[in-house]
Structure 1
Amino acid sequence: MKVVSQYNALPAMDGDGVNIRRVADFTRTKFDPFLMLDEIKSDDKQDFIGGFPPHPHRGIETFTYIRKGGFEHRDQLGNVKAIRASDVQWMSTGSGVVHSEMPLADANDGLHGFQIWLNMPAKDKMRPAIYRDSSDTHNPEITNSLGATLRALAGDWQFADMDTHISAPVQGLAGQGMVADLMLAANAQAQLDLSHRQYAGLYLYQGSISSTQQDTQAHFQQGQYLIVDSQGLLSLQAGDDGAGLLVFAGDPIREKIVHMGPFVMNSQAEIEQAIADYQQGRFGEIVRSC
């Protein structure tokens, strides 16, 4: 596995005082078609109890994955859904979405989840929003003989040395985006072939991994994001404590973007229009509790 570059997730705060760790790039778009990854991981309610009150988006896709605990999602499209452990949620926001994400009242054992942003191509940024989640189905998994389990979250996946394919319920992300959760037992091994996509990345959320690079053994730890060469075979081995990784793949959109808060467009004029449209109520109103 050839690591092109690596980054450390940095502490940040968003929503109503939610503590997160973030990897993002809205300038050079080196994660294209992905823009940002936020991780929430805490057993202390004070780190996340404020949640994410109503806020807008335009021009991006948000992809949420929960490993522990959960959120209640509400939006102006009429969707009201509880997103719990192992669930994913995808919103292709297009011309505009207003939504909230608040911790579930019965999620008393902490929270561990991720929100990933993808850019949308200019031709799609003003189309109607799309919402999907996996709460009424499940995200399929396969396990190899070396102690690795692969859970498909978006797109189609398989281990490089197995014929079995699995398809996630959520398909059609911008930039042919794909997301999977790779869970490795102690000293487990896995190989992935992502050569059908131009971009590949790994985020290590738990444990440690090693991989041979240019005849030397490289080691990586929790909290690191790796951009890897998608055209080479990804060969990974977990350390004694096992490992958990999010795996990303896609095709770069390669368009100039302008970013301001929850809006990602292609020009400053489009950003200003998004702000004006939201302020004038053109995004609609969020579904309220009865």
Structure 2
Amino acid sequence: MSIRPILEQRPAQPTMEGAGVHLHRAFGFQDPSELDPFLLFDDFRNERPEHYAQGFPWHPHRGIETITYVLSGTVEHGDSLGNTGTLGAGDVQWMTAGSGIMHQEMPKGNPQGQMHGFQLWANLPSSLKMTAPRYQDVKGGEIPEVTDDDGTTVRVVVGSFWGKTGPVDGIAADPQYLDISVPAGVKKTFKVDTYRRSFAYVFEGSAAFADASAPSGVLLEKEVGGQEVNIRDMSGNRTLIRFGTGDEITVQAGDEGVRFLLVSGAPIQEPVAWHGPIVMNTRDELMTAMSELRNGTFIKPAH
């Protein structure tokens, strides 16, 4: 067994998107190979309706899939195909933009005005860039949840874990998307496929992650059999941890416990041409998409 080294640990950065939605971006619009097949990850958490109520008005997507996971409040959505719906607390939507879609997402707070959710962008390989758009809307009650003897709880949003399989399927990146809660003081190891890129995003509490390649001076702990492993300093709220290659991660929950997302996917390893919400393989394909947006041929007829 090999613990994944921590390549980087960094806080999500505040930014604005849509019509003035205040959010925190963990990664995106930088090096697309960094977490291939994932391109962008946003944490839209807010308690002030004036900072999110204007939402994300009509905008295009092509060449990617977007994964929206709501923790509190709701997100109303509509699109150019005539689909409409509302995501509530615990719900997930996986949208395959494929050949092109126009849609809008309008967040609303809970009765206390709180809104919290995440959006992850996954790239599509060249063979699927122009596939027909589709949605998978999943209610929170359909997402399997499993609790271990030590109180650790895992919601299996996508993929398979601990004998449970999430309801979203047919995703190009073949991802695993887990919502993990570890009680205070508990140390836990989670398996991750060696061949996947992987990251964790801490959004409640704090934790230390074992790091097989950490520099000297970090905390050393004795493992079973006497082997020493490095433990990276405590990661707190809104922190991204980007892992290297290995087949497991180990986490030591802090005094308040920790809740984090653990996401992994198979890298696509193709060229990326990216402009805003459109991600293709070449500049020519990007220019074609922009031209089609201008002349009204961006949305393709259903076959």
The answer to whether TM tops 0.5 is yes
Q: 1:230 to 1:84 in 2, by over 3 A?
A: farther
Kindly indicate whether the alpha-carbon contact (under 8 Å) linking 1:33 and 1:175 is maintained by their aligned counterparts in 2: yes
CA distance in 2, matches of 1:283, 1:130: 16
Structure-2 residue corresponding to 1:273:
288
Structure-2 residue corresponding to 1:227:
242
Letter in 1 for 2:271: K
Letter in 1 for 2:286: I
Residue 230 of structure 1, CA deviation: 4.7
Structure-1 residue corresponding to 2:10:
7
Structure-1 residue corresponding to 2:95:
91
Residue 284 of structure 1, CA deviation: 4.5
Q: Deviations over 1:61-104 (max 9, x none)?
A: 10000011110011112221110111000111110011110124
| Structure 1 residues 39-50: aligned runs within 5 Å | 39-50=43-54
Residue 114 of structure 1, CA deviation: 0.4
| Structure 1 residues 142-161: aligned runs within 5 Å | 142-158=146-162
Q: Deviations over 1:36-70 (max 9, x none)?
A: 10001111111111101110000011000001111
Kindly indicate whether the alpha-carbon contact (under 8 Å) linking 1:155 and 1:172 is maintained by their aligned counterparts in 2: no
Structure-2 residue corresponding to 1:249:
264
1:211 aligns with 2:214: no
CA distance in 2, matches of 1:152, 1:230: 22
Kindly indicate whether the alpha-carbon contact (under 8 Å) linking 1:76 and 1:97 is maintained by their aligned counterparts in 2: yes
Kindly indicate whether the alpha-carbon contact (under 8 Å) linking 2:89 and 2:140 is maintained by their aligned counterparts in 1: no
Kindly indicate whether the alpha-carbon contact (under 8 Å) linking 2:53 and 2:108 is maintained by their aligned counterparts in 1: no
Kindly indicate whether the alpha-carbon contact (under 8 Å) linking 2:6 and 2:243 is maintained by their aligned counterparts in 1: yes
Kindly indicate whether the alpha-carbon contact (under 8 Å) linking 2:65 and 2:96 is maintained by their aligned counterparts in 1: yes
1:260 aligns with 2:260: no
Structure-2 residue corresponding to 1:32:
36
Kindly indicate whether the alpha-carbon contact (under 8 Å) linking 1:66 and 1:86 is maintained by their aligned counterparts in 2: yes
> Any unmatched runs of 5+ in structure 1?
159-164, 286-290
CA distance in 1, matches of 2:141, 2:232: 38
Aligned residues: 279
Structure-2 residue corresponding to 1:161:
none
CA distance in 2, matches of 1:229, 1:136: 31
Residue 234 of structure 1, CA deviation: 1.3
Residue 140 of structure 1, CA deviation: 0.7
CA distance in 2, matches of 1:154, 1:197: 17
> Any unmatched runs of 5+ in structure 2?
213-228
Q: Deviations over 1:149-181 (max 9, x none)?
A: 1001111122xxxxxx11111122222122111
Farther off after superposition, 72-81 or 29-38: 72-81
Structure-2 residue corresponding to 1:169:
167
So what's the TM-score if we normalise by structure 2? 0.87
Max Rg structure: 2
1:237 aligns with 2:240: no
Q: What SS is found at the alignment partner of 1:274?
A: helix
Q: What SS is found at the alignment partner of 1:174?
A: coil
RMSD: 1.9
What is the percentage of aligned positions where both structures have the same residue? 33
Structure-2 residue corresponding to 1:17:
20
Residue 34 of structure 1, CA deviation: 0.4
Q: 1:99 to 1:151 in 2, by over 3 A?
A: same
Letter in 2 for 1:235: T
Of 177, 180, 183, the match for 1:182: 180
Letter in 2 for 1:252: P
CA distance in 2, matches of 1:267, 1:172: 25
Residue 268 of structure 1, CA deviation: 1.1
CA distance in 2, matches of 1:281, 1:110: 38
Q: What SS is found at the alignment partner of 2:232?
A: strand
Q: 1:155 to 1:107 in 2, by over 3 A?
A: farther
Kindly indicate whether the alpha-carbon contact (under 8 Å) linking 2:12 and 2:24 is maintained by their aligned counterparts in 1: yes
Q: What SS is found at the alignment partner of 2:252?
A: strand
Residue 205 of structure 1, CA deviation: 1.1
Residue 137 of structure 1, CA deviation: 5.1
Kindly indicate whether the alpha-carbon contact (under 8 Å) linking 1:74 and 1:81 is maintained by their aligned counterparts in 2: yes
Residue 26 of structure 1, CA deviation: 4.4
Kindly indicate whether the alpha-carbon contact (under 8 Å) linking 1:70 and 1:84 is maintained by their aligned counterparts in 2: yes
CA distance in 2, matches of 1:257, 1:128: 20
